[in-house]
């Protein structure tokens, strides 16, 4: 077994226009002062990383890594959640998702998708240049408007959708394989890969590609009423990343899983800061440790109530307190009667 690395923090929800959240140097100092050991970097803000440059220049990647290291931190992983979303977009969401791409690509879904695919390929090479072995993204979605179909889905629609999704991702997965990096899909509502079954459908379509891995985030499973502990038992061999995020689900006689179009504060299911929700993190950390998870425990803050800086400060200690330093010996070693093959044969009378 291995001791899980951490605490680390995903920067996406903290980046802003004011110090210390407006530069990589300043945010690193802030994170280190809170007790974090690593940062997970989103790749859409050039103030924090020039993704293409990191892919094409080892010198730039080394300088970026050196800046982070100078604060006593590591880079845990890079993220292309927004770009991954654009690999597959149903036309109903074209205008909404245009905001994830450069202005010049708005209104041009084909060019937007090509840009997104190239971004993922840059991310694979940048990760290798930075010495990273895992990367976070979304799958995108062609079928999400059909998730609860009415009228009924036409025969073969889901098969066609997953075939197309796999065709778009397989070349990207191959580039990640060439660079020795696991591509970890965050299983998430709004994506075609939103639970275990949908992930399995995709995995079959990409011929069980060795790099088609998972980012485990239990908060999304609380909101879906999915058994997030058994999920680890089933998929632990594919889980290469871990977002530590809390959530709660409190259904009433008036609303349930879908939330009745309410804002986050008023939904039955909502994300919370670590320790304020319902996720059983003691069991999660125990299972991941049992299954030899070797990655980082990364805080993702998305609380509907608490201030982000408070969530970040409390989250560092919360993760630290939950990481299990693995034992190097069995608890009952003190009572061992002896060891060795000859001793074993003697006991058995052979």
Query: pLDDT digits over 29-46, tens only?
Result: 999 999 999 999 999 999
Q: What is the mean pLDDT of residues 176-188?
A: 98
Q: Say what the pLDDT of residue 343 is.
A: 87
Q: Say what the pLDDT of residue 336 is.
A: 78
- Checking if the pLDDT of 28 tops 80, the result is yes
* Whether the Cβ atoms of residue 47 and residue 335 lie closer than 8 Å to each other: no
- Checking if the pLDDT of 333 tops 80, the result is no
Query: Domains (ranges, CATH) in the chain?
Result: 5-348 (3.20.20.150)
Q: What is the mean pLDDT of residues 74-95?
A: 98
Q: Say what the pLDDT of residue 346 is.
A: 86
- Checking if the pLDDT of 176 tops 90, the result is yes
What's the pTM?
A: 0.96
């Amino acid at each position: 077994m291995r001791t899980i690395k951490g605490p680390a923090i995903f920067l996406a929800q903290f980046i802003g226009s004011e110090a210390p959240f407006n530069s990589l140097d300043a945010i690193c100092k802030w994170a280190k002062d809170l007790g974090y050991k690593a940062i997970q970097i989103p790749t859409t803000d050039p103030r924090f990383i020039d993704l293409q440059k990191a892919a094409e220049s080892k010198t730039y990647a080394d300088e970026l890594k050196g800046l982070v290291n100078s604060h006593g931190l590591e880079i845990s992983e890079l993220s292309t959640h927004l770009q991954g979303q654009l690999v597959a977009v149903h036309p109903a969401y074209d205008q909404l998702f245009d905001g994830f791409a450069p202005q010049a690509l708005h209104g041009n879904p084909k060019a937007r998708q090509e840009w997104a695919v190239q971004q993922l390929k840059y991310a694979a090479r940048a990760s290798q240049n930075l010495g990273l072995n895992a990367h976070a993204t979304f799958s995108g979605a062609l079928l999400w408007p059909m998730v609860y179909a009415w009228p009924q889905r036409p025969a073969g629609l889901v098969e066609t959708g997953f075939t197309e999704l796999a065709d778009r991702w397989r070349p990207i997965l191959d580039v990640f394989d060439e660079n020795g990096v696991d591509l970890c899909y965050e299983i998430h509502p709004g994506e075609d890969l939103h639970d275990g079954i949908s992930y399995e459908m995709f995995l079959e379509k990409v011929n069980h590609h060795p790099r088609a891995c998972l980012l485990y985030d239990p908060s999304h499973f609380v909101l879906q009423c999915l058994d997030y502990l058994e999920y680890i038992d089933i998929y632990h061999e594919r889980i290469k990343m871990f977002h530590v995020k809390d959530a709660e689900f409190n259904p009433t006689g008036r609303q349930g899983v879908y939330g009745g179009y309410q804002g986050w504060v008023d939904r039955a299911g909502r994300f919370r800061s670590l320790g304020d929700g319902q996720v059983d993190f003691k069991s999660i950390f125990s299972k991941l440790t049992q299954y030899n998870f070797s990655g980082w425990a990364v805080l993702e803050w998305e609380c509907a109530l608490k201030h982000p800086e408070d969530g970040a400060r409390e989250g560092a200690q919360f993760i630290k307190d939950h990481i299990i330093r693995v034992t190097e010996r069995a608890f009952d070693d003190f009572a061992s009667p002896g060891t060795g093959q000859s001793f074993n044969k003697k006991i058995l009378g052979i």
